[in-house]
Amino acid sequence: MGGAEQRMSGLQINLSPLKEPLGFIKILQWVAAIFSFATCGGFKGKTSFKASCPGQTKNETIEAAFAYPFRLNQVSLHETATQDPPCDVTWSSYFLIGDFSSSAQFYVTFAVLVFLYCIAALVLYIGYMNLYRESRKIPFTDFVITLIAAFLWLVSTSAWAKAVTDIKMTTGENLIGQIDSCNNKGVQCSSGSVTNMGSLNVSVIFGFLNMILWGGNAWFVYKETSLHGQSNVSTHGAGTVAPPTGM
């Protein structure tokens, strides 16, 4: 009971750490994490093309709707017309190509975990900064997590950026070339439209921004650890000159 009361009594609400780089950058990391998983996980789009059938002057629109987590190989085409399948082709038997769920889910899951960690860290900075600075383990753990997070932002964002490029190719200029019925049986296919993927580009930008924020914040977290204090002591100790001894 005594230990629990001591820990509870350590709660001291103090907003001043938010004015320091340690706390202010943590707020930026929290906001950037929100934009990262929101712009990726909330995406929904469509891609379409026009099919021209022999003996018909009207072009039929064929489309496919896709969204996070971007398992495009499970997304089938369908015609927008309600009558018979255009050009006597069963368009629903064709699927988009590619499964980018691993990159997308890794990116979003990591961003959510970072979001939660930032909340926990901010609570620690605001309410328990005295315990944070008195402890040797907590700042060191924070420092290690910061380094790991910076590295994982680099890995996850690089993988996601490659996936975004492939998604654009698969749903854009390469779409018609993936469909055998186009240019067969006299069916002519032409490019249609695809949803603007600006939000996916934004998610990549925020991913690299997160990497910079976490990498830069590593120095300020390091300054809170005992390692920084030891390096200062060793530096000052190496610079001292012993007083001359008497004859």
pLDDT digits (tens, 9 = 90+) for 125-183: 999 888 888 888 999 999 999 999 999 999 999 999 999 999 999 998 788 888 888 87
Residue 10 has a pLDDT of 66
DSSP at 77? P
Cβ atoms of residues 86 and 62 within 8 Å:
yes
Residue 229 has a pLDDT of 60
d(CA 69, CA 105) in angstroms, rounded, equals: 6
* pLDDT tops 80 at residue 237: no
Residue 57 has a pLDDT of 67
Residue 5: pLDDT band with limits 50, 70, 90: very low
Start-to-end Cα distance in the chain: 63
Percent of the chain with pLDDT over 70: 84
- The residues near 70 (Cβ < 8 Å, ≥ 6 apart) are 98, 99, 100, 101, 104, 163, 167
The enclosing H or E element of 62 equals: strand 59-67
Cβ atoms of residues 187 and 87 within 8 Å:
yes
Mean per-residue pLDDT over the chain, rounded: 85
* pLDDT tops 50 at residue 246: no
The pTM of the full predicted model, rounded to 2 decimals, is 0.83
